[in-house]
Structure 1
Amino acid sequence: MSEEPLPYKKSLDLRSRLMRLVGSAFDPRAWMHLFKIINYYNYSHVSQLRVMKIGAEPSISPDAVFANGERIVLGDRVRIGSRCHLWAGPAKGRIIVGDDVLFGPDVMLTAASYNYNRGSPVTEQPMSEGDIVIGNDVWLATRCVVLPGARIGDGAIIAAGAVVKGEIPAMAIAAGSPARVVSQREVTHRPAD
C-alpha cells in the first residue's frame, strides 16, 4: 500500500505577491469592505463612547465593542482589554462597572438574552434584560462571560472562560460554567505613597 504524499503550502514568489497587491488595490470589493469596517467601528465603538458615562483615567482597547452605550457606566481607572464586548440591553438592561476593574481579552458582558421559546426565528423574539453590576477592584479574566442580572462583589476574580450568572460574593475567586466560588482572595495592601 502506497501512502499518498502530504501536501505542502505553496509560497508565492515576490512577483506573484506584488501582482496580488496591485490586484487588491484596484478591487472595488476591497474598498467596499473597508467602508463596512469603518461603519462597524463607528457604530460599535466611537459613537458608543460618546454616550457612555466613563470615569477618570480609563484604558479602553480600540477594538472593544459596545452596544447601547447610554446604559453603560464605567468607573475610574477601568481597563478594557482587546476584543471585549459590553452589550447593555436594548430597552433597560444596564452595565455598571466599579473603579479599578480589569477586563482581560475577549470578555463578554450582555445585559439581555433572547426568549427562545416564543417562536421562531430566535432573533425575532422579545428579550429578557437584567442589570449587570460589577464592584470595585474586580478582575475578569480572558474569555469569561457575564450574563444578564449578574452581580460581582468588590475584589472578586472571575477565572478565564467562566460563565457568570447570579451573584459572586466580594473577594471570591470564581471559575467554571456556571461560575462557582473555588477560593477566596487574600489581599495585602501595597504601602501608601
Structure 2
Amino acid sequence: MSAPVHKRRLSRRRRLVRLITGALDPRAWGHLLKVVNYYNYSHVAELRAAMVDPTANISPLATFANGRNLVIGARTTIGAGCYLWAGPNEARITVGDDTIFGPDVMVTATGYRYEDGAPINDQAMDEAPIEIGPDCWIGRGATILAGSSLGEGSIVGANAVVRGRFPPFSIVAGVPARVVSTRRIGTAD
C-alpha cells in the first residue's frame, strides 16, 4: 500500500493572489452575467408574469416557463430544482392551495411530436393543460405530463410519471403512475 498523498496547502498570500486574479478575469464576469441572465429569465421574469398567491413559498432554485399560463395557489410550497413549464400558447398549469412539491419535480404542459420523421428540434409541440388540486403532495423527482389532472388531496410517490386523470384523494406511484391506495381524511388510525 502506498503512502497517503496530501495536497499542499496554499499560503494566505497565494490564495489572495488567486482570488484577485480570478475577480479581474473578464471570463469570470462574462460567466456571472450569463448566470444572472438565465436566473432572471427562468425564475424572476416568469414568476412576475404568473398568478402566484403571495403566501406561496417558492424555492429560488425552481425554474419556470411561460409564466403567463401558470397559477399557483395559497400556501403552496415549490421545492428546489422543480420545473414548471406551462405551454407557450394555451396550456395552463394550475396548482391548488396547500400543495407541496418535493425537490426535483417536473411539470410540463408540452411534449414533442416524434412521428413525422423530421428532427425533434424541428417538430411542433403538443400541449395540454395540467390541473393539480388543493392539498396535494408531489414526491421528489416526480414527473407530471401534459393533460394530467390530480384531484384534491392526492399524493404522488417519488419518481412517479403521471399521465392522465386521477380522482380526489388518490395515492399514485410508479412508471407509469397508477392508483396504489386512497387517502382517508379525518379517520383515526
TM-score normalised by L of structure 2: 0.90
CA distance in 1, matches of 2:159, 2:6: 33
Secondary structure of the residue aligned to 2:47 is helix
- Asked if 1:118 is matched to 2:152, the reply is no
Residue 30 of structure 1, CA deviation: 1.2
Candidates 156, 168, 183, aligned match of 2:181 = 183
Compared with structure 1, are the counterparts of its residues 11 and 95 closer, same or farther at alpha carbon in structure 2 (3 Å cutoff)? farther
In the comparison of the two structures, how many residue pairs are matched?
186
- Asked if 1:13 is matched to 2:16, the reply is no
Structure-1 residue corresponding to 2:47: 49
Structure-1 residue corresponding to 2:158: 160
Secondary structure of the residue aligned to 1:174 is strand
Compared with structure 1, are the counterparts of its residues 120 and 19 closer, same or farther at alpha carbon in structure 2 (3 Å cutoff)? farther
- Asked if 1:80 is matched to 2:78, the reply is yes
Deviations 1:14-58 (A, max 9, x none): 455444333321221111010001101111111111111112411
Residue 7 of structure 1, CA deviation: 9.1
**Unpaired runs of 5+ in structure 1?**
none
Compared with structure 1, are the counterparts of its residues 33 and 181 closer, same or farther at alpha carbon in structure 2 (3 Å cutoff)? same
Matches within 5 A, 1:104-115: 104-115=102-113
CA distance in 2, matches of 1:163, 1:14: 51
Structure-2 residue corresponding to 1:67: 65
Candidates 127, 130, 151, aligned match of 1:129 = 127
Which residue type is aligned with residue 39 of structure 1? N
CA distance in 2, matches of 1:47, 1:30: 24
Which residue type is aligned with residue 49 of structure 1? L
Compared with structure 1, are the counterparts of its residues 173 and 35 closer, same or farther at alpha carbon in structure 2 (3 Å cutoff)? same
Residue 181 of structure 1, CA deviation: 1.1
Structure-1 residue corresponding to 2:94: 96
Q: Percent identity?
A: 49
Pick which of 47-56 and 157-166 moved more.
Answer: 47-56
**Unpaired runs of 5+ in structure 2?**
none
Candidates 146, 154, 157, aligned match of 2:144 = 146
Which residue type is aligned with residue 170 of structure 1? P
RMSD of aligned Cα (Å): 2.0
Residue 121 of structure 1, CA deviation: 2.4
CA distance in 2, matches of 1:174, 1:164: 8
Secondary structure of the residue aligned to 2:115 is coil
Secondary structure of the residue aligned to 1:82 is coil
Secondary structure of the residue aligned to 1:188 is coil
Residue 186 of structure 1, CA deviation: 2.0
Secondary structure of the residue aligned to 1:86 is strand
CA distance in 2, matches of 1:119, 1:68: 27
Secondary structure of the residue aligned to 1:187 is coil
- Asked if 1:169 is matched to 2:167, the reply is yes
